[in-house]
Amino acid sequence: MASSIFFSPAANAVTVPIRFTATATAATPTPTPRLVLVRANNASASASGPTLTLEECEAAAVAGNFPAPPPHSKPPGPKGTPLIKPLDLTRRPRRNRKSPTLRSAFQETTLSPANFVLPLFIHEGEEDAPIGAMPGCFRLGWRHGLMDEVYKARDVGVNSFVLFPKIPDALKSPTGDEAYNDNGLVPRTIRLLKDKFPDIVIYTDVALDPYSSDGHDGIVREDGVIMNDETVHQLCKQAVSQARAGADVVSPSDMMDGRVGALRAALDAEGFHDVSIMSYTAKYASAFYGPFREALDSNPRFGDKKTYQMNPANYREALIEAQADEAEGADILLVKPGLPYTDVIRLLRDNSALPIAAYQVSGEYSMIKAAGVLKMIDEERVMMESLMCIRRAGADIILSYFARQAAGILCGAKSN
Ligand code: PBG
């Protein structure tokens, strides 16, 4: 491009020939071709003074004598391009997309590592164990692997984490009492993390499924009914135990009715007024959770979660949940899954002033990973686009297994 010569990073100054023509004023000396130094930055400008004074330059401009501008020409279309009369358009939206600078100036949505929350699987082991259905994800040893992962995530600007424990079968029970063991895997891990990284934000999952011998988020009655209020009682104990260990945000993912208000009251009663509640407001009964359940070995032993998680066909129902959560004191409303439910994210964004979170769940992650490995899609670009789309839909924060990988890209060279 011709104009780039003026700002060539390789040289501070470039010489531009100025031609004076015969129409120069009488005061102008005999026209001779001259070379003028055009400085591209101020640092070098003081090295030697300008060759022409401002008055001389202005006089030359008034007389119509300027340096010949670089030629500007549009290359022709390929052979065979039809010769047409241009369309008479008032609007040509492509004008605002014609260069990387214009495109980035008009970009409406941005992604930043500050928007990400990284979900981490932890277990009692010393070694990290790969999760078959989630390439690149591991059940991390809570004392070593987890600390390494948090360290690396912080390095690329991810400072928020949500913990999911893989609980030994022997500690599971129908009432999930291990969920509020102050020395259980989650509270123990929170204390260690807070000790090593005092400034990180720790989100916890509040639900019984990792602790339930039935693999359900609540207590299961003999006839298969998930008991609402009794489950909420357990969840309150779980959240208080997590808060006691140092959790910053407790996140009920169980979908019991009334749990947000009950958690708020339980936390306040114990003096945890500063612990936030991120409610899984619109959590759908989704097949996209499959890989996660493999990771935690938390598949329901029977039946499904349709009596508490929402029907994927429903939209308005998300408003009912949002209104209840807001009234009960939720600090953040979450939609889950993410990409297939961007309409619901937008619905909550437009109907609440609270921050909105979206969870790009395990199935979404694994689909992109698998198609990337098979070279069917460009994994990195699809990853970044999917995260951007979730932000565009209205999510402030995104829980994503891609958080560290995506933040790494955001920290490195940006491409348009
Ligand atoms: C359970 C819970 C689930 C997820 C987060 N918390 C699974 C479920 O509801 O069965 C799914 C997350 C994912 O798929 O990445 N309380």
Separation of alpha carbons 36 and 165, rounded Å: 71
Tokens standing for 162?
Answer: 């949500």
Pocket perturbation via mutation, ligand 1, pick of 361, 364, 368, 402 by most ligand atoms within 8 A of CB: 361
Nearest residue (by CA) to ligand 1, atom 5, is 253
Nearest residue (by CA) to ligand 1, atom 7, is 289
Residue showing tokens 């123990």: 188
Q: How high is the pLDDT of residue 257?
A: 96
Tokens standing for 33?
Answer: 């071709």
Taking only the tens place, the pLDDT of each residue in 322-367 is 999 999 999 999 999 999 999 999 999 999 999 999 999 999 999 9
Task: Identify which of 402, 384, 378, 398 has the alpha carbon closest to the alpha carbon of residue 135.
Answer: 402
Helix (H, G, I), strand (E, B) or coil at 103: helix
Looking only at the bridges linking them, the beta strands covering 332-336 and 249-252 are: unpaired
- The answer on pLDDT for 89 being more than 60 is yes
- The answer on pLDDT for 273 being more than 50 is yes
Nearest residue (by CA) to ligand 1, atom 11, is 289
Q: Which atom of ligand 1 is nearest to the CA of 290?
A: 14
Q: How high is the pLDDT of residue 49?
A: 65
Per 3-state DSSP, the chain is made up of helix, strand and coil in percentages (nearest 5) of 40, 15, 40
Separation of alpha carbons 21 and 32, rounded Å: 9
Pocket perturbation via mutation, ligand 1, pick of 117, 217, 234 by most ligand atoms within 8 A of CB: 217
Residues in the chain: 416
User: 275 CB under 6 A from ligand 1?
Assistant: no
* Higher-confidence position of 15 and 172: 172
Tokens standing for 82?
Answer: 């039809």
- The answer on pLDDT for 42 being more than 50 is no
Separation of alpha carbons 76 and 31, rounded Å: 37
User: 214 CB under 6 A from ligand 1?
Assistant: no
User: Cα angle vertex 29, ends 27, 33, to 5°?
Assistant: 140
Residue 279 pairs in a beta bridge with 333
* Helices and strands (DSSP H and E) totals, the chain: 12, 14
Q: How high is the pLDDT of residue 270?
A: 98
Nearest residue (by CA) to ligand 1, atom 6, is 253
pLDDT more than 70, % of the chain: 87
Looking only at the bridges linking them, the beta strands covering 138-141 and 129-130 are: antiparallel
Residue showing tokens 């291990």: 178
Tokens standing for 200?
Answer: 């990180």
**Average pLDDT of the residues of the chain:** 89
User: 293 CB under 6 A from ligand 1?
Assistant: yes
Work out the pLDDT band at 69, boundaries 50, 70, 90.
confident
Q: Which atom of ligand 1 is nearest to the CA of 289?
A: 14
Task: Identify which of 217, 210, 213, 245 has the alpha carbon closest to the alpha carbon of residue 232.
Answer: 217
| Neighbour tally for 221: CB within 10 Å | 11
Task: Identify which of 97, 217, 117 has the alpha carbon closest to the alpha carbon of residue 158.
Answer: 117
User: 289 CB under 6 A from ligand 1?
Assistant: yes
Taking only the tens place, the pLDDT of each residue in 190-230 is 999 999 999 999 999 999 999 999 999 999 999 999 999 99
Taking only the tens place, the pLDDT of each residue in 366-415 is 999 999 999 999 999 999 999 999 999 999 999 999 999 999 999 984 44
Q: How high is the pLDDT of residue 36?
A: 45
Work out the pLDDT band at 44, boundaries 50, 70, 90.
very low
Known catalytic residue at 85: no
172, 283, 305, 369: the catalytic one is 283
Known catalytic residue at 283: yes
Cβ-contact 179, 185 below 8 angstroms: no
336, 369, 375, 414: the catalytic one is 336
Q: Which atom of ligand 1 is nearest to the CA of 309?
A: 9
Looking only at the bridges linking them, the beta strands covering 219-220 and 116-123 are: unpaired
Residue showing tokens 């030994």: 168
Q: Would you give the DSSP letter of residue 324?
A: H
Rounded to 5 degrees, φ, ψ at 348 are -70, -40
Count Cα atoms within 13 angstroms, Cβ side, for 365: 26
* Ligand 1 center from residue 161 Cα (angstroms): 15
Helix (H, G, I), strand (E, B) or coil at 231: helix
| Distance, CA of 221 to chain centre | 39
Mean pLDDT computed over 15-26: 39
Mean pLDDT computed over 296-307: 89
* Ligand 1 center from residue 197 Cα (angstroms): 26
* Ligand 1 center from residue 147 Cα (angstroms): 23
Q: How high is the pLDDT of residue 288?
A: 97
